[in-house]
Amino acid sequence: MRAALLVAAVLVSAAPCEAQPVVSAYPAGRLPSPVDRSPRPDPWYGETILAVDAPSITAMVLAGFVLDRDDPDGVRPLVGLAGLAGYLLGGFTIHWGHGRIGLAFLDLAGRIIGPYTAGLIAWRADGAKDESQVAEAAMIGGLAIASFIDAFVLARKAPEPRRVDERATAVPLGRPLRPGSAAQVDEDD
């Protein structure tokens, strides 16, 4: 049985066949330049900023409102400092990693000045009390607003221009409209 299959395969493969003529839509020897089909990076990287800011703000809220103020183990200050460090340095590091160093410093300044100013204004409006919950709420709101401004406004890169292949050549598809122009094709060719 194997021998019969082998003989049949040899006979079929040795059968004469005709080559098909090659038809090209391009002039002889001129192929179009390859198109850059590499994946484009997304110009928005705000989701990374939101992913860092959400747990950082949550840690600061836990340290300020939920955890026991008379904590004997000292967990509350550590949670608050970890949240503050993640909040202040997270956006800064992400912008720096995307090559936007000036924006990283602007972001750091906005993350310090914005919430602090909101809390100060609310504290003064509340009568400058020692423990003003209005000021604390305004600071938390300022943290969230600064995070959203950073993620949805600042975290956008300008789209990169498409690279042009240096080997690309112009292929004339027809005769020039003006006789005597530099691009006119000789009729003798």
**Domain spans in the chain, listed from the N-terminal domain onward:** 46-154
- pLDDT for the residue numbered 1: 73
Q: Are 86 and 78 in contact (CB under 8 A)?
A: no
Nearest to 111 by CA among 153, 62, 64, 148: 148
Which tens digits make up the pLDDT trace of 86-140? 999 999 999 999 989 999 999 999 999 988 888 888 888 888 777 778 888 888 8
- pLDDT for the residue numbered 50: 94
Which tens digits make up the pLDDT trace of 146-166? 999 999 999 988 766 656 555
- pLDDT for the residue numbered 90: 94
Percent of the chain with pLDDT over 70: 63
Nearest to 54 by CA among 148, 159, 155, 186: 148
**pLDDT above 70 (res 22):** no
- pLDDT for the residue numbered 27: 61
Q: Are 14 and 120 in contact (CB under 8 A)?
A: no
For the ranges 2-6, 41-45, 94-98, the maximum mean pLDDT occurs at 94-98
**pLDDT above 60 (res 175):** no
Amino acid 73 reads D
Residues 68, 72, 77, 83, CA torsion sign: negative
- pLDDT for the residue numbered 67: 78
Question: Which residues partner with 156 through β-bridges?
Answer: 44
Cβ neighbours for 17, distance < 8 A, ≥ 6 positions apart = none
Where does 44-171 have alpha helices with state H? Answer: 46-61, 75-97, 101-125, 133-149
Global pTM reads 0.59
Residue 4: Cβ-neighbour burial (10 angstroms; 0-12, 13-18, 19+): exposed
Chain Cα centroid distance, residue 130: 44
- pLDDT for the residue numbered 87: 95
- pLDDT for the residue numbered 74: 79
Residue 80: Cβ-neighbour burial (10 angstroms; 0-12, 13-18, 19+): middle
